[in-house]
Amino acid sequence: MLQPGNLPTASRSSALWPIAIVILACVAILAIAMGLMLELRANIGLRAQETAQNILRVVERDIARNIDVLDHSIQGLIDGSAQPDVLSAAPDLRRQILFGGSTATMGFGALSLVDASGKLLLSSAPIPPDLPGVADRDYFRVHLEQGHGLYISHPHRSRLLGREVIAFSRRISKSDGSFGGIGLATIDLSYFAETLAQLHLGKNGVVTLFRADGTILFRQSAKPQQRAEQIAGTQAFDRIASRRADTFVGTSAIDGVERLYTFTHIGNVPLIVSVGLGTEDIYGGYEFEALYVSVVLLAICLGLIALTARLTGELSRRKSAEQALVVSNAELARLSLTDWLTGLGNRRAFDAALTRELRHAQRTGRSVSLLLVDVDHFKSYNDRYGHQQGDAALADIARVLAGACQRAADGAFRVGGEEFALILPETGLEGARRVSERIRRAVQALDRDHSGSPFRHLTASVGYAEVQGDVPATAYERTDAALYRAKQSGRDRACAGERPRLAA
């Protein structure tokens, strides 16, 4: 008796199939699990992106609204100060008219009027008698030297309030157009801290407000503040400066933390606000779960493979070598008749089918038609769009031809690079014409762009002929001549083959 180790090679190979199947199944399970985990990661990223964008919208709208209120306050101060009746009013009434109480309730600093020399004339905050002017400040010089719309200053310590502020200012022009001073409003940096502290950004999250020149005005982070006054010239800022709004993953030039950033420009002012969520905060829990699931699945798969290997070792001999050879030969025969790309019959299958159907038509006296389909300008399509797109187009056309085979006896084949054939038993010339037109229109309906074609999309030409009584070579020759006429006539059309001439 043969021992298991002395089994014929084919038998030993057969015994390995269960193990191979289990391995493939395990690979498939792991692949599916990996796909699901990747999809989960993508969904986590999308939710984080939505969260960041929602936070950004809240922050942007709040800042834009407050800037708009500030700007209106400055404009009101400038317009009010131009009225002689207002300036001549009693101090308390003038203060009520020019400043009201609106800015105080919004956490703003001070609203002030500055003359052409830089001296504070009026302010919503008390002005000490020995207070220095603001002629050295950037928000004063920019209006004095060149004029400006609403100008947003660099962060600085206010001499009037003694706190870190950002100033918003507009120029006051005299009746002759010369410089007459500025209207000025400030916001305490602590106002941003109090507002943004309510946001839940995670331990690595950050909200940054900066000018369009890269100057950071305020940066709110759960970590200790890293000082950075300028980020212009960094890779992240170059991307931000070139777009109105966007979302991307990048590493901070300030603290080296990788974050998912989303940003937007605020209204028409030169301010940008960005929200960054740490990728560690976003994916930290996911990575642990993914590792756990992967280890468990891998252990299960290894156990299944080991169990299958043990069981297959105890099984009896598999099918004989002769049976295995029969199965193998049958599979090779099938593959030898199938086109690898389209799944249609290949040229060998076409020749056999055409010979068979012509003989059947001769015995029964029934008609049979042959169609040849050629893709128009396919070489230029391949050159322009690449072979991968060319293969996809051929596969689409193959599906069209397969769909045109509405009876079990109909057959579709790929007989060349971009040439296909249909054999339609018991079909006359009129039926072949209808099928040809249906195929031609179906190829048009694929709507595949083809800029190298005069039709601007992919088309096909069709030659058809009733070939009853022909030998295979003659049938193919007459149908190919019809296809040639279709192409010579302008392509994207179907032409019938000429009937054979009777001998005189």
Residue 14: predicted pLDDT? 60
* Residues 271, 342 within the same domain: no
The CATH number for 244's domain is 3.30.450.20
- Residue 429: inside a domain: yes
* Residues 274, 373 within the same domain: no
Residue 224: predicted pLDDT? 55
Domain enclosing residue 253, as ranges = 202-278
Q: Model confidence over 432-478: pLDDT tens digits?
A: 999 999 999 999 999 999 998 999 999 999 999 999 889 999 999 99
**Which residues lie below 8 Å from residue 113, measured CB to CB, with a gap of 6+?**
77, 78, 81, 98, 120, 121, 122, 123, 172, 181, 183, 184
- Residue 101: inside a domain: no
* Residues 264, 382 within the same domain: no
Torsion of CA 159, 161, 163, 168, to 10 degrees: -80
Cα-based distances in Å from 113 to 84, 127, 128: 15, 11, 15
- Residue 347: inside a domain: yes
**Which residues lie below 8 Å from residue 351, measured CB to CB, with a gap of 6+?**
472
* Residues 265, 351 within the same domain: no
* Residues 401, 481 within the same domain: yes
Rg (alpha carbons) of the chain, rounded to whole number? 40
Count Cβ atoms below 10 Å from residue 224 Cβ, excluding itself.
6
Sheet holding 419-425, edge to edge: 411-414, 419-425, 368-375, 460-466, 494-496
Residue 370: predicted pLDDT? 96
- Residue 232: inside a domain: yes
What is the C-alpha separation between 108 and 110, in angstroms, rounded? Answer: 6
- Residue 408: inside a domain: yes
* Residues 241, 360 within the same domain: no
Report how many domains make up the chain: 2
pTM of the entire structure?
0.51
Instruction: Give the end of a domain, one of 278, 297, 325.
Output: 278
Instruction: Give the end of a domain, one of 234, 260, 278.
Output: 278
What single letter denotes the amino acid at residue 137? Answer: R
* Residues 273, 406 within the same domain: no
* Residues 400, 252 within the same domain: no
Residue 4: predicted pLDDT? 43
What is the C-alpha separation between 127 and 184, in angstroms, rounded? Answer: 14
Residue 414: predicted pLDDT? 95
Which residue, 175, 277, 168, 159, is CA-closest to 217?
Answer: 168
* Residues 270, 346 within the same domain: no
Count Cβ atoms below 10 Å from residue 109 Cβ, excluding itself.
28
* Residues 373, 456 within the same domain: yes
The CATH number for 451's domain is 3.30.70.270
How much helix, strand and coil, in percent to the nearest 5, is found in the chain? 50, 20, 30
Q: Helix, strand or coil for residue 236?
A: helix
Instruction: Give the end of a domain, one of 278, 300, 322.
Output: 278
* Residues 269, 375 within the same domain: no
Which residue, 368, 366, 339, is CA-closest to 475?
Answer: 368
* Residues 351, 471 within the same domain: yes
- Which class for 487: exposed (0-12), middle (13-18), buried (19 or more C-beta within 10 A)? middle
Written as six digits, the tokens of 135 are 């002629």
Residues lower than pLDDT 70 in the chain: 1-15, 85-97, 100-107, 147, 222-229, 315-326, 329-330, 500-504
- Residue 475: inside a domain: yes
